[in-house]
A and B are shown apart, each in its own frame.
Chain A
Amino acid sequence: MTRLRVIYNGVIWGLFCALLAWQSTWLQMRIALGWLIPVVVVIVYLCYLFYGRRLQQNWAIFRFPETLTVTAVLSVILLLIYHWQPLLVVIGATIREVFNASWALNTTAYFVLAIMALWLLVLAIDSRRHPVPKLQSADNFKQATLQSKIGLVVTIIFLVALVVSYYFIPGYQRFINTMSSLLVHLDITALRDYINSFGIWGPLISTLLMIFQSLLAPLPAFVLTFANAYLYGWFWGAILSWSSAMLGALLCFYIARGIGRPFAEKLVTKKALAKMDNFFAEYGDYTIVVLRLLPFVSFDEVSYGAGFTDIRTGKFLIATGIGQLPATIVYSFVGGSLGGSKLMLFMALIGVILLVVVSLLVRKIMLKRQAKRQVGV
């Protein structure tokens, strides 16, 4: 049954990728997009063989609740992109193209949807009868991730590939150079035009930019938040900036996890890591929320740092999400008002000042608390 669930996840992700690829005329004119489905199924199944078995790790998609959530979220995204009838058309076209058949588009789509619904129902019944337990102990989690040699090797290969590609792939090199230059020079207008030049792919490029700036800690993220708000309005800009920053933070977190504690101890000494542990222990789960609120603390260093501790990914994500929300909203307001009225700009500036004052206040309180505890000891 686990295999059936894994394959279902592969199919649903494959279908999602194939349907999303219809948005690119260039891509859909070149290949039968339906072939993406078996390719993604194989990739997901290999991931299951690798992570699910060798590391005894509970990958989220291997449990039913997550499978159901993924199905719901992907369906909503597709509906928002296509609406009902065009969605049926692309589903039908994706499938019949693979079989080189002339089946009616709607009938084919309904048939596929019925199979997926039935499949999900079978998985639901199975999950009731044989629930998959979550990993309970943090120690197990630590064992499975922090000390994984495979994780270390994969992460190092990933990082080396990122660096080596820069020297061998001209397009990638150009992309990195352009981005670094735009971010370093805080050129919001040029950045906005650059993202805008990609048309409907703009949000994807903006997400890649945000992830890129997360990996390279010194690059500032707020320029990108400004540009997003400038382009897509403060609300959608804030959503885009917030979600892409979450992805960036998650990537940093996983890189740190992949490198693992033992290796990190060799790099930055045991003492430094112990200090960080104490900090996390002292302020508990709120540490990340507080750190995220402070504009003078590097967003990316927090993500890397958290990856070296034994904080759970879910908690890290929730804390990051809450913590970065105020700054994202304020910066988006500023960005959104760059082309708007003076009143909005004024309000946004007040917002920034308030944010700085509040964060300084929080810092002061934190330092006081720390001092008190030290006196107590």
Chain B
Amino acid sequence: MMKQHRVLGSLIAMVLMITGIVVLGATPTQAAKNITKGLTTEKPLKYNKSTKEIAILTQVNGTYFTQATRHVIVNVDGSNGDKSLLKTDATPKAFNDALKKVGAKAGNNLTKKSAAGTKVKGSKLGVYFVINGKRVKAEKAVQVNKKDVSNLDFRFGGNMAMNNEMKTGCVLCFDSCPVGIASGAKYGFQYGEHFTGKDNVLPKDGSNMVVVFKVK
């Protein structure tokens, strides 16, 4: 009898556990098995606390395969919405909040008055472009003056107050920036480094592409 009860108890526990996993798994922000799936223009951002990852849906702007820019990802409604390699419906605020939720620390060390050459601080971020289901490091998909680049050293700059004020929509900048939520520390502030996207690596103009940020 006792044995039957134990079996029944463990069966109920299993059912409850499976139900819990299914229910929790259905919420978009928690414990998603594959963070890159299910992103839409209405829900362009997902995050995963356990893997410390954020994924956002973007659209490729082929203009910057031949022309240079310093904006990697910009929100479509921002004043720089057409000036970036990748456009997104995700807002800088949503991205900033998601970074905080996955445990990243904002640098907030840059202002417009910072000395030229100052580098952005904050948690280190790995940036990956998801192309044909595979993660490609951002460094592999861009060039500076037609030369390959290495370790762009992306950081969570923060800058939410300035971002709200400027309304540029900047999510990810190539070089150290007092406005972008995240930016690359390889190039200092106001050094004016610009890049172009590689058309042989990136999807063609107008394609959707998921970008994954991993807090290191």
Contacts and interface: CB of A to CB of B under 8 A. Distances in A.
A93 B67 CA distance: 10
Interface residues of A, number: 16
Interface stretch (A21-29, A270-278, A321-329, A357-365): A21-29
Interface string A302-344: 0000000000000000000000000000000000000000000
B66 A85 contact: yes
B82 A89 contact: no
Interface string A17-47: 0000010010011001000000000000000
Contacts of A100: 81-82
Interface in B170-204: 192, 194
A102 to B, nearest CB: 6
B38 interface: no
Main SS of the interface on chain A? Answer: helix
Contacts of B65: 89
A25 B206 contact: no
Contacts of B63: 89-90, 92-93, 105
A104 to B, nearest CB: 6
Contacts of A25: 67-69, 192, 194
Contacts, number: 38
B62 A105 contact: yes
Nearest to A93: B63
Contacts of A89: 62-63, 65-67
A105 B205 CA distance: 8
Interface in A73-108: 85-86, 89-90, 92-93, 97, 100, 102, 104-105
Interface core residue of B67, B69, B192 (most chain A CB under 10 Å): B67
B212 to A, nearest CB: 23
A102 B59 contact: yes
Contacts of B70: 29
B83 interface: yes
Contacts of A86: 66-67
A97 B82 contact: yes
A85 B199 CA distance: 13
B66 A32 contact: no
B69 A29 contact: yes
A25 B63 CA distance: 13
B66 A90 contact: yes
Interface core residue of A90, A92, A102 (most chain B CB under 10 Å): A102
A28 B67 contact: yes
Interface in B77-136: 80-83
A118 to B, nearest CB: 25
B206 A90 contact: no
Interface core residue of A86, A97, A104, A105 (most chain B CB under 10 Å): A105
B116 to A, nearest CB: 15
A32 B62 CA distance: 16
Contacts of B71: 29
Nearest to B59: A102
A22 B67 contact: yes
Given A29-B83, A89-B62, A102 B67 contact: no
A102 B206 contact: yes
Interface core residue of A29, A86, A90 (most chain B CB under 10 Å): A29
Contacts of B80: 29
Given A25-B68, A90-B67, A104 B82 contact: no
B35 to A, nearest CB: 25
A89 B83 CA distance: 14
Contacts of A104: 205-206
A375 to B, nearest CB: 70
A90 B64 CA distance: 9
Interface of B: 59, 62-63, 65-71, 80-83, 192, 194, 205-206
24 contacts: A25-B68, A25-B194, A28-B67, A28-B83, A29-B69, A29-B71, A29-B80, A29-B83, A89-B62, A89-B63, A89-B66, A89-B67, A90-B63, A90-B66, A92-B63, A93-B63, A97-B82, A100-B81, A102-B59, A102-B206, A104-B205, A104-B206, A105-B63, A105-B205
Closest 9 CB pairs of A and B: A93-B63, A86-B66, A97-B82, A89-B66, A25-B68, A105-B62, A105-B205, A25-B194, A29-B83
Interface of A: 22, 25, 28-29, 32, 85-86, 89-90, 92-93, 97, 100, 102, 104-105
Given A29-B70, A86-B67, 4 more contacts: A25-B192, A25-B194, A28-B67, A28-B83
